[in-house]
Structure 1
Amino acid sequence: MVWTGTRRTVLTAAGLGLLSASCQVKGDRTAEEPRSPFTGEQRIGDRVLTVKIDNVRPARPQTGLDRADIVYAEQVEAGLTRILAVFASRIPGETGPVRSARESDLELLRQFDRPAFCYSGVQSRLRDRVESAHLVALPPGRLPDGYVRRSGRPAPHNLHLRPEVALRAASDASAPRDIGFRFGSAPSGGRRTAEHTVRYPSARYGFTWSADEERWLVSMDGEPATTSGGDRLGAPTVVVQSVRIRSSAFGDRSGNNTPFTETVGSGRALVLRGGREYDARWSRPDAAGGTTFTDADGRRLRFARGQVWVLLAPTG
Structure 2
Amino acid sequence: MDDPTRRPGPLTDAADGAAPHRARRTVLRAALATAAALGAGTLAACGSDEDQGDASPFTGEPHKGERVLAVKVDNVAAARPQNGLDHADIVYTEQVEAGLSRILAVFASDLPATVGPVRSARESDIELLRQFGEPALAFSGVQSKLLPTLEAAPLRLLPPGELPGGYERDPDRRVPHNLYLKARRAQQAAEGASAPRDIGYRFGSAPGGGRATDRQTVRYPGARFTFTWSADRGRWLVAMDGAAARARDGGRLAPATVVIQYVTVRPSRFHDSSGSITPYTETVGSGDALVLRDGMAYEAHWSRPSASGGTAFTRADGGDRLPFARGQVWVALVKKS
CA RMSD of aligned residues (A): 1.5
Change (3 A) 1:17 1:42: farther
Q: 1:62 aligns with which of 69, 82, 99?
A: 82
The letter for the 1-side match of 2:334 is A
> Unaligned stretches of 5+ in structure 1?
1-9, 22-32
Q: Establish whether residue 84 from structure 1 lines up as the match of residue 104 from structure 2.
A: yes
> Unaligned stretches of 5+ in structure 2?
1-39
Aligned to 1:28: none
Identity %: 62
Q: Establish whether residue 310 from structure 1 lines up as the match of residue 328 from structure 2.
A: no
Aligned to 1:249: 269
Bigger relative contact order (CA 8 A; separation at least 6):
2
Task: Tell me, yes or no, if the aligned pair for 2:48 and 2:321 is still in contact at 8 Å.
Answer: no
Q: Establish whether residue 40 from structure 1 lines up as the match of residue 60 from structure 2.
A: yes
Aligned to 1:272: 292
Task: Tell me, yes or no, if the aligned pair for 1:283 and 1:291 is still in contact at 8 Å.
Answer: yes
Matched residue SS, 2:186 = helix
Q: Report the TM-score when normalising by structure 1.
A: 0.91
Q: Establish whether residue 14 from structure 1 lines up as the match of residue 40 from structure 2.
A: no
Matched residue SS, 1:130 = helix
Aligned to 1:118: 138
Task: Tell me, yes or no, if the aligned pair for 2:50 and 2:204 is still in contact at 8 Å.
Answer: no
Change (3 A) 1:19 1:90: farther
The letter for the 2-side match of 1:298 is G
Within 5 A, what are the aligned runs for 1:198-209? 198-209=218-229
Aligned to 2:260: 240
Q: Establish whether residue 287 from structure 1 lines up as the match of residue 307 from structure 2.
A: yes
Aligned to 1:230: 250
The letter for the 1-side match of 2:233 is E
Matched residue SS, 1:309 = strand
The letter for the 2-side match of 1:304 is A
Cα-to-partner distance string for 1:92-117 (whole Å, 9 max, x where unaligned): 11110000000000000000000000
Distance in 1 separating the partners of 2:41 and 2:210: 31
Distance in 1 separating the partners of 2:45 and 2:195: 17
Task: Tell me, yes or no, if the aligned pair for 1:20 and 1:184 is still in contact at 8 Å.
Answer: no
The letter for the 2-side match of 1:238 is V
Task: Tell me, yes or no, if the aligned pair for 1:20 and 1:35 is still in contact at 8 Å.
Answer: no
The letter for the 2-side match of 1:302 is P
Quick check: 172-181 or 129-138, which moved more? 129-138
Aligned positions, number: 296
Distance in 1 separating the partners of 2:269 and 2:93: 21
Matched residue SS, 1:235 = coil
Within 5 A, what are the aligned runs for 1:184-203? 184-203=204-223
Aligned to 1:147: 167
The letter for the 1-side match of 2:88 is A
Task: Tell me, yes or no, if the aligned pair for 2:73 and 2:117 is still in contact at 8 Å.
Answer: yes
1:131 Cα deviation from its structure 2 partner: 1.6
The letter for the 2-side match of 1:91 is L
Distance in 2 separating the partners of 1:256 and 1:17: 43
The letter for the 1-side match of 2:193 is A
1:169 Cα deviation from its structure 2 partner: 1.2
Cα-to-partner distance string for 1:117-155 (whole Å, 9 max, x where unaligned): 000010111111112210101111111310111111100
Task: Tell me, yes or no, if the aligned pair for 1:18 and 1:178 is still in contact at 8 Å.
Answer: no
Matched residue SS, 1:108 = helix
Matched residue SS, 1:66 = helix
Cα-to-partner distance string for 1:185-223 (whole Å, 9 max, x where unaligned): 001100000100000000000000000000000000000
Distance in 1 separating the partners of 2:71 and 2:280: 18
Cα-to-partner distance string for 1:62-86 (whole Å, 9 max, x where unaligned): 0011000000001100000100000
Aligned to 2:24: none
Change (3 A) 1:270 1:167: same
1:18 Cα deviation from its structure 2 partner: 9.5
The letter for the 1-side match of 2:90 is I
Within 5 A, what are the aligned runs for 1:97-176? 97-176=117-196
The letter for the 2-side match of 1:56 is V
- Structure with bigger strand share is 1
The letter for the 2-side match of 1:42 is P
Distance in 2 separating the partners of 1:62 and 1:311: 17
Distance in 2 separating the partners of 1:211 and 1:143: 42
Task: Tell me, yes or no, if the aligned pair for 1:52 and 1:84 is still in contact at 8 Å.
Answer: yes
Cα-to-partner distance string for 1:22-61 (whole Å, 9 max, x where unaligned): xxxxxxxxxxx51100000011000000000001100000
Q: 1:221 aligns with which of 241, 249, 256?
A: 241
Task: Tell me, yes or no, if the aligned pair for 1:19 and 1:35 is still in contact at 8 Å.
Answer: no
Task: Tell me, yes or no, if the aligned pair for 2:261 and 2:333 is still in contact at 8 Å.
Answer: yes
Task: Tell me, yes or no, if the aligned pair for 1:18 and 1:34 is still in contact at 8 Å.
Answer: no
